[in-house]
Amino acid sequence: MKKIAVIGTGYVGLVSGTGLSDFGNSVTCLDIDEEKIAILNKGKLPIWEPGLLELVQKNAKMNRLHFSTDIAAGIRDAEIIFIAVGTPSTHNGEADLNALFKVTEVIAKNLNGHKYIITKSTVPVGTGQKLKEFIVARAPKGSHFEVISNPEFLREGNAVYDFMHPDRVVVGTESEEAAEVMRQVYRSLYLIETPFVFTNLETAELIKYASNAFLATKITLINELANIADGYGADIHTVAKTMGLDGRISPKFLHPGPGFGGSCFPKDVRALSAIGRSVGYESKLLDAVLEVNEHQKDRMVEKLKRLVPDLKNKTIALLGLAFKQKTDDVRESPALNVIEKLKNERVKIKAFDPAAMDEMHKIHPDLEYCNDVYDSVKNADAVMILTEWNEFRELDFSKLKTLMNSANIIDTRNLYDPKTVKSLGFNYLGVGRR
């Protein structure tokens, strides 16, 4: 059993800390946010993530998982320290490392033995080396520590499963001793022969960005193809399915829609492009991915206008506000773009999401938030499906039609069969399925 501190209780830190405690380690999750820690100490969650609450309660009850705002004490008490703070985008696309270095300064001042300092946060290539220099300049003389890169690959909505059943564990380190410590930390995964990739700090840091950039590019490509399919009457689902049968391509992330969002893909693609610029390389592909993705979000309102040309004073129902299903996260959600554009058109917006309405209310308190799907569509001139929640897949279209002013559906997630919906008397537009 290792004594571990995890600094940061967001999606990454809380899931990682809880998962590590479930592996049998003694873990203290640390955060300066007193409200978050108070919620966690009451056995509740400050975020919405399926399966996480039960795991938190289980390990807290077994005295393996603890929560505290005393970061200095948590650092001194731990042998292994994971940093899992946010690295959002700056105005020029670079990763903002202010929180990371603030935490690192506290770590440096509280080194009281040999410590293993592990970055879970997504950081630019070269950050690990900078952290080492930063700590040496501030730590007590004679301090012993090692910096390790251990990027996360968690999908919001599936984060607990992903932590317990990863495709791979990436460890960037400069010593075999540190590598062995990481094998012990992840012993539960090592024993079931989960692939481990041991490499240097810089390579581990780049692996994270490379993975997310590739997936974002794959989504963008299928959206570009869907837009072409729109123009010719081709069915993008058949195209994507057939592409996916090629083992070199695979079917994953070939799902056309309103563009990618969330806390990872947009900021990581921007950051990787900035990383390239820092060494004198301009990544035209990455910049194009970002540009096309923003255009894809805007294109959803253009589709709406094909069914409702004059939007002024119309009522539009938005089903889904989160950037994807099974999360309450609205960061860079396509819904944000749609809402802004609809507001500019002086549209009345009614909205429903099973999990994300509280988060969206913080940004747009003036929307009409509804109790369920059917409450949201009352007197609506059109419905826009923006998130692929399972409960949206089986709607009572007869009831929908009686409640709406006009039977118009913009299905940005292609949840429904166009022929079936049209046969029920609806005007229907999907993505790449004219």
Burial of 406 per CB tally in 10 Å (0-12, 13-18, 19+) = middle
Question: In this structure, are 11 and 134 located in the same domain?
Answer: yes
pLDDT of 290 = 97
Across the range 295-306, mean pLDDT stands at 96
- The structure tokens listed for 169 are 């564990």
Question: In this structure, are 55 and 180 located in the same domain?
Answer: yes
Q: Is residue 78 part of a domain?
A: yes
Residue where one domain finishes, among candidates 199, 233, 262: 199
Catalytic residue (choose from 185, 229, 264, 373): 264
Residue where one domain finishes, among candidates 146, 179, 199: 199
Question: In this structure, are 160 and 299 located in the same domain?
Answer: no
Please state the φ and ψ torsions of residue 268, each to the nearest 5 degrees: -75, -35
Question: In this structure, are 270 and 194 located in the same domain?
Answer: no
pLDDT of 95 = 95
Question: In this structure, are 252 and 351 located in the same domain?
Answer: yes
pLDDT of 190 = 87
Q: Is residue 368 part of a domain?
A: yes
pLDDT of 160 = 97
Q: How far apart are CA 194 and CA 188, in angstroms?
A: 9
Mean pLDDT for the chain overall: 96
- The structure tokens listed for 7 are 């600094």
β-sheet with 26-30: strand ranges across: 65-68, 26-30, 3-7, 80-83, 115-119, 145-149, 169-172, 196-199
pLDDT of 73 = 97
Question: In this structure, are 323 and 260 located in the same domain?
Answer: yes
Question: In this structure, are 316 and 418 located in the same domain?
Answer: yes
Q: 398: which residues sit within 8 A by CB, 6+ positions away? A: 424
Q: Is residue 229 part of a domain?
A: no
Instruction: Give residue-wise pLDDT tens across range 109-156.
Output: 999 999 999 999 999 999 999 999 999 999 998 899 999 999 999 999
Question: In this structure, are 54 and 166 located in the same domain?
Answer: yes
pLDDT at 332 over 90: yes
Q: Is residue 144 part of a domain?
A: yes
pLDDT at 215 over 90: yes
Q: Is residue 207 part of a domain?
A: no
Query: Is 29 noted as a catalytic residue in this protein?
Result: no
pLDDT at 434 over 80: no
Residue where one domain finishes, among candidates 137, 170, 199: 199
Q: Is residue 272 part of a domain?
A: yes
Regarding pTM above 0.85, the answer is yes
Q: What is the sign, positive or negative, of the torsion defined by CA atoms of 319, 322, 324, 325? A: negative
pLDDT of 300 = 97
Instruction: Give residue-wise pLDDT tens across range 35-81.
Output: 999 999 999 999 999 999 999 999 999 999 999 999 999 999 999 99
Q: Is residue 300 part of a domain?
A: yes
Q: How far apart are CA 49 and CA 52, in angstroms?
A: 6
CATH number of the domain encompassing residue 56: 3.40.50.720
How many independent structural domains does the chain possess?
A: 2
Please work out, in degrees rounded to the nearest 5, the angle formed at the alpha carbon of residue 407 by the alpha carbons of 403 and 409.
Answer: 110
pLDDT at 270 over 80: yes
Residue numbers of the domain that contains 279:
244-429
Question: In this structure, are 25 and 146 located in the same domain?
Answer: yes
Question: In this structure, are 171 and 291 located in the same domain?
Answer: no
Please work out, in degrees rounded to the nearest 5, the angle formed at the alpha carbon of residue 355 by the alpha carbons of 408 and 341.
Answer: 45
Question: In this structure, are 24 and 78 located in the same domain?
Answer: yes
Instruction: Give residue-wise pLDDT tens across range 231-250.
Output: 999 999 999 999 999 999 99
Question: In this structure, are 154 and 57 located in the same domain?
Answer: yes
Residues of the chain above pLDDT 90, percent: 98
pLDDT at 252 over 90: yes
pLDDT of 1 = 84
Q: Is residue 212 part of a domain?
A: no
Spatial CA neighbour of 13 closest among 150, 179, 167, 181: 150
- In 10 A of CB 293, how many CB atoms? 23
